[in-house]
Amino acid sequence: MKPDRAGVVDIFTDGACKGNPGVGGWGALLEYNGHRRELFGGEKLTTNNRMELLAVIRSLEALKQRCNVRLHTDSQYVQKGISEWIHSWKKRNWRTASKKPVKNDDLWKELDLLTQRHDIEWLWVRGHSGHEGNEQADQLANRGVQCVLENPAGSSGTAEKCEVNGNFNE
């Protein structure tokens, strides 16, 4: 499926964590022109914010050509981070205003690169408020958690059997 430039890919993302840090999962729902793709994955020891970021990163990685994207997230950390904070972090060499290292800078740097590949409109939605796409992303994130619990990897890292990914627009 190849989106034309006028079309928009809607992406709904969410992260979940059982304990913070703890077992975490991420989920993403991609929709375009009546087609849907579900992505999810998880890690044995992580944080909710890392899972929120990974949901966005993995969904953008699934787009194999430049797309117009409407990205829906219930994470103010992701929304404000990408829309407001990242510009200052980059100017300060990935340091906060209080000169501390930015948490999750590895993922923020990866996301920063991915955002340059697409035209993205960032939309914040209230979590657990009945928004269909967000609710489905939440279910996928919880599937990621469940998968890690049922198929644990080694002492850390991603449970490979639990990462359901793929290319959206091939």
25, 43, 52, 163: which is the annotated catalytic residue? 52
Q: Which of 41, 72, 74, 133 is catalytic?
A: 74
Give the contacts of 21 (CB within 8 A, at least 6 positions apart): 45, 46, 47
Cα–Cα separations (whole angstroms), residue 135 to 72, 131, 142, 144: 11, 6, 11, 14
Catalytic residue (one of 15, 81, 133, 144): 15
Concerning whether 72 is annotated as a catalytic residue, the answer is no
User: Is 138 one of the annotated active-site residues of the chain?
Assistant: yes
- Distance between CA 88 and CA 71 in Å, rounded? 22
C-alpha pair distances (Å), 86 with each of 13, 93, 96, 100, 114: 19, 10, 10, 14, 14
- Number of residues in the chain: 170
15 is an active site residue: yes
The DSSP annotation for 66-90 comes to --EEEEEES-HHHHHIIIIIHHHHH
Q: Of the listed 128, 150, 157, 166, which one is catalytic? A: 128
Q: Is 105 a catalytic residue?
A: no
Given 41, 138, 144, 163, which residue is catalytic? 138
Residues with catalytic annotation? 14-15, 52, 74, 128, 138
